[in-house]
Amino acid sequence: MRQAGIYSGVVSGGRSGPHLLPLARIKKIMKKSGDDVKMVSGEAPIVFSKACELFIEELTQRSWTVAMQRKKKTLHKEDVASAVLATDILDFLVNLVSDSNNPLDLAPVERETLVS
């Protein structure tokens, strides 16, 4: 006999709803990632819906750590930028977080580490 809670991980997952992020939107973004992305399986957006949650959580955690080191209570874009610069696997975001207003530069946090 099957156990109770078959739906638990998927439906509520201990959280608010089946999927926190809209699958159709994910699929749209996947298809736009290249001209040659033709077909996407039904499950791929579902994996991404959870992966994006994990990604947002990780990025937020790292950014907040930077903000705390700077003794701030508000998370700003430069905290996110510093977190991106400090994390190897987030290299693909480097161009995104730097723009003409904030030329690519080591964050003060990292500079302190280098000096000491």
Number of residues engaging other proteins in binding (CB under 8 A): 72
**Binding residues for other proteins restricted to 21-50, rule: CB under 8 A:** 21-22, 25-26, 28-30, 32-41, 43-44, 46-48, 50
Determine the Cα–Cα distance for residues 93 and 52; give it in Å rounded to an integer: 14
Determine the Cα–Cα distance for residues 42 and 20; give it in Å rounded to an integer: 16
**Binding residues for other proteins restricted to 64-93, rule: CB under 8 A:** 64, 67, 73-77, 79-81, 84, 88-89, 92-93
Nearest to 58 by CA among 91, 87, 23: 87
- Both structure tokens of 4: 């109770």
**Binding residues for other proteins restricted to 92-111, rule: CB under 8 A:** 92-93, 95-101
Least Cβ distance, residue 69 to other proteins (angstroms): 14
Residue among 1 and 114 whose Cβ is closer to other proteins: 1
Q: Is 63 in the site for other proteins (CB under 8 A)?
A: yes
Residue among 88 and 115 whose Cβ is closer to other proteins: 88
Cα–Cα distance list, 47 to 1, 39, 81, 89, 95 (Å): 28, 16, 26, 19, 26
